[in-house]
Structure 1
Amino acid sequence: MASTNLTKHSAFTPVDILRKEARQHVETGPVTVSYPKDRDVIVEHLGRALATEWVCVLRYLRHAYCITGVVAEPIKAHFLEHAREEQAHAHKLAERIVQLGAEPDLNPATLTQRAHAEYVPGNSTEDMIRENLIAERIAVEAYREFIQFLGDRDPTTRTMLEAILAQEEEHADDLRDLLT
């Protein structure tokens, strides 16, 4: 009896309509009729986040390879760990772009133009740490804005971004600790 009441509730699409709509446009995969109409805007922002992650991977790797000095090894380990985690973020973002029916843009010629963060080489250990911290702060703010933009309209993307945001905040915290 309770399930009958649920199916008649106005907030839920009747089962026969769900079944019919699921059979239409099967080629769109998880993108159903209830997906936000501004999917292209969501994909564009995912693309900017993807570019940002790759720029961060490259900057962290350069810093890991170029850092020198007495304290270089533990900081190098931080940079390499952060680079791996940023690459994992990029992987998730690219997969989500594909799920939403688009293609990830990995063109190296335009990555820095599309990214939120900059690729700054840094000349000293302190410069490298500071530039990575600045980039993490940019990422934190960009992800927060994106999450707020999504609201409840795309819970899958929002949940993924929230997990990435948490890790970006950890990176910023680690880097701040290295500066002090």
Structure 2
Amino acid sequence: MTQHTLTDVATLREQARKHLGRGAVTAGYSADRSRVLKMLNEALATEIVCVLRYRRHHFMARGIHGQSVGAEFLVHSIEEQGHADQLAARIVQLGGEPDFSPDSLSARSHAEYVAGETLVEMIQENLVAERIAIDSYRDMIQYLGSDDPTTSVLLKQILAVEEEHADELADLLEGLPNT
């Protein structure tokens, strides 16, 4: 294992005064910033698509279990919006611009927007999207390694919630007929 030596205080102070316009992106940032920004904007698009799909499903949930499942869809939608906000904030922190353009949203999203006709189909489509998000976030975390620990921590936090969503949706499927 390679031992890392600490940077002396004088050097830290000198480096901090250079490139002030870069904000949080210091000389010690070792990730490919343009690639990280692209990746985060794709994650942002995925979260927004999930917000929209969950919202539709919240309003369209029908049947004996429609009210309770629809309420769960609303909770997930709100949490996905929180993820989108966190990702947008990180993009800005890294000196980028969050891409909220509706024209390219679905093309940039890893998950698809599938309406689903029945409650079972809605749950299944949301579960598929969560499983895609889980693997996408794992890939991003592995890609970052130790090059961008702040983004990695953020993605790990989001990943944990996506895994909870997937478990909750799988449980909902178990409780419904025709699965």
Q: Same fold (TM over 0.5)?
A: yes
Superposed CA RMSD in Å reads 1.1
Structure 2 residue ranges without an equivalent (≥5): 175-179
Alignment of 1:143-162 (within 5 A): 143-162=137-156
Match of 1:19 among 10, 13, 20: 13
Q: Is 1:96–2:90 an aligned residue pair?
A: yes
- Which whole-Å CA distance do the structure 2 matches of 1:52 and 1:36 have between them? 25
State the shift of 1:86 in Å: 0.1
Q: What runs of 5+ residues in structure 1 fail to find an aligned partner?
A: 1-8
AA in 2 matched with 1:32: T
Asked if residue 167 in structure 1 is aligned to residue 179 in structure 2, the reply is no
| Structure 1 residue 24 displacement after superposition | 0.6
The answer to whether the Cα contact below 8 Å between 2:46 and 2:109 also exists between their aligned partners in 1 is: yes
Q: Secondary structure at the match of 1:31?
A: coil
Q: Distance in 2 between matches of 1:10 and 1:164?
A: 29
Q: Report Cα offsets for 1:152-171 as digits up to 9, x if no partner.
A: 11111011110100000000
Q: Displaced runs of 4+ in structure 1, greater than 4 A?
A: none
**Percentage of matched positions with identical amino acids:** 53
Aligned residues, how many?
172
Query: Scaled by the length of structure 1, what TM-score is found?
Result: 0.93
Name the residue aligned to 2:58. 64
The residue identity in structure 2 corresponding to 1:141 is: D
Asked which structure has the greater CA Rg, the reply is 1
Match of 2:79? 85
The aligned amino acid for 1:119 is: Y
- Taking structure 2 as the reference length, the TM-score comes to 0.94
Mapped to 2, the partners of 1:124 and 1:153 lie a distance apart of 44
